[in-house]
Structure 1
């Protein structure tokens, strides 16, 4: 209980003092997570929509594989990206290891299947409703995908926010490929792990509270800006 109260106090102290190190770490956390989610959404949303409107021989296998990829172990993803970006790896010439870019790549691999799978599940229901109409209008597959993506935008926002929650709380993969380097790749999750290792539980708990507040604030802001609550009452 004492550690909990000390953690709450430490969180408010850091926020009140506008600690420069905390601001830097928080902004880097948001930068990495937002970048990863934007890229993942750009890949996952169209793929999920395509999977919803397409019919091919191994479709069920593809859906099962996509759902399985939602549970990718982050440390395995981190290891694979590390081997690819290391000096002896095929992409070592790019010199991306232990950089925010490497962290973004790892998060994209983790988050994209989540967004794609949730998109497919949401748009599959819409496709059942609109199938006859869109077929009768002789629409192309791309037009069908666009129609489903637009009409299902509220559900897709939820899928994207789910991906963001997964990204901002990630530690295993980004610890491996980022290295938790101060002023370069240290984010809130890796900073928490560092403080726990040092035995500074109040500071670790304070950083954890700030991480939760950031995630909640971002989710609320996106919901307000997109006016999903207002649209839901129409």
Structure 2
């Protein structure tokens, strides 16, 4: 099959609503949603803790978070594989080669991005916001909430970046999920599989979906930032 024929077949699959194709897309979106839901609260909390409090080991934690940003996804996948395997510390939960295992793995991938970007936003925010809140008698929780409102668009940008990280990675998803059809096969692992088999139509179709998802996500973020008064 030529490339042009594969592209036409890919468009036909998208237009006709191929069940297998959209099932793969649904798996990707579901895993990404729950991984971000799992990773965002502790990552944001850690960022505010590091930004507002001094304690022994703070600098080490910051360096660790920043180091994890560059960690290859396949290394995360390897670590999670050993954690989830039958003899691993989480083996009793039988999460290996399941969507639950993929969610954990991708939450680990998203965590440092969310924490590092939020930390940078809080540290770069106008210090007068927190000072004014303290002057008005706000406690630490209220001050943190005021800071959160101040940097909310930066936090949203961190979530969008984390979404892009997890939906486009293949190493961790392949190692932890196992690329099982109808269960853990997501967009990136399906593209890798179909391309290796020389079946390009589904890979092209899924690539188109991935690009559209990225465009829609970033366009939505830009729209929200515009409404927030950001240029």
Q: Equivalent residues in 2 for 1:118-133 (5 A)? A: 118-126=117-125, 128-133=127-132
Q: How many angstroms does 1:137 deviate by?
A: 3.3
Corresponding residue of 2:192:
193
Corresponding residue of 2:225:
228
CA shift digits 1:114-159 (9 cap, x unpaired): 0000000011112533343234334332222111111211111111
Instruction: Please tell me the root mean square deviation across aligned C-alpha atoms, in Å.
Output: 2.1
What is the distance in 1 between the residues matched to 2:92 and 2:64? 31
Q: Equivalent residues in 2 for 1:18-167 (5 A)? A: 18-126=17-125, 128-167=127-166
What is the distance in 2 between the residues matched to 1:152 and 1:194? 41
TM-score w.r.t. the length of structure 1 is 0.90
What is the distance in 1 between the residues matched to 2:6 and 2:119? 41
CA shift digits 1:66-95 (9 cap, x unpaired): 111111221121111111211122221111
Q: How many angstroms does 1:61 deviate by?
A: 2.6
What is the distance in 2 between the residues matched to 1:210 and 1:79? 28
Secondary structure class of the residue paired with 2:128: helix
Structure 1 gap ranges (5+): none
What is the distance in 2 between the residues matched to 1:118 and 1:110? 14
Higher mean alpha-carbon deviation, 11-20 vs 133-142, is at 133-142
